[in-house]
Amino acid sequence: MAAKQILIVEDEKPIRDMIAFGLRRSGFDVREAEDCRAARIAVADQLPDLVLVDWMLPDMSGLELTRLLKKDSGTREVPVIILTARAEEEDKIRGLEGGADDYITKPFSPRELLARIKAVLRRGGPGEEEEVLAANALRLNSASHRVTAGEEVIALGPTEYRLLKFFMGHRDRVYSRGQLLDRVWGGNVYVEERTVDVHIRRLRKALEASGCDRLIQTVRGAGYRFSEQVDE
């Protein structure tokens, strides 16, 4: 099996070299870019399996690059992890709402970075047997990773896809944020519970045009539920 390819977008060469060294030792194929322009050229040349991007870059912010990648149909499914010294909760929420699949605050240990990368890659991992889940007009095909509502294809990032698949396979039961983190993100992943709310909003927004956003219901004080029965 070919090594997973990671693109590191970081303007400070010592940091970039340190990250690249650790990832190569762990068996990853690593490519590097010093700014967003170089990153976009690298992505156009060959699609990576994951992008690590620093928030502060010389030509545009890493958050802006993330938004561009997530808007493009050819790159929106590539997972993105933002690296930053910004530790405020609002900055983390901005990063996640901007399309990032995870957010790591500097300084971080090589072990933490590796654990987060592996966790994000597992969320969208291939090799699943074909399974079609359906609810009202919504259909999810796990073999093709395609989600449709009627004739319309719904574009989802890897985390939103995994969240929807879990919901569609576990209907009419309420799950707390902590339970969703364990079941969708994995129990050994360092993710705050508020991250769940960000991805729920992102998933609902993607389903809104089809009217299927109503299937994902907030149960006040308890968590979230996926149900075709809508409370009046």
Residues 92, 48 share a domain: yes
- Name the residue type at position 178: G
Whether 81 and 158 share a structural domain: no
Range scoring the smallest mean pLDDT among 9-18, 58-67, 79-88, 162-171? 79-88
At residue 54, φ and ψ (nearest 5 deg) are -75, 145
Q: What residues contact residue 33 under an 8 Å CB cut-off, 6+ apart? A: 7, 8, 9, 10, 39, 41, 42
- In 72-193, where does DSSP find H-type helix? 89-97, 110-123, 158-169, 177-180
Asked if 61 and 116 sit in the same domain, the reply is yes
- Of 99, 123, 147, the position where a domain reaches its end is 123
One domain, residues 80 and 154:
no
Return the pLDDT at 164: 93
pTM: 0.59
Q: How many domains does the chain have?
A: 2
Q: Assess whether 84 and 19 both reside in one domain.
A: yes
Q: Are 191 and 181 in contact (CB under 8 A)?
A: yes
pLDDT band at 223 (very low <50, low <70, confident <90, very high): very high
Range of the domain at 52: 5-123
Using the Cα atoms of residue 64, residue 65, residue 67 and residue 72 in order, give the sign of their dihedral.
positive
Tokens of 12: 């400070």
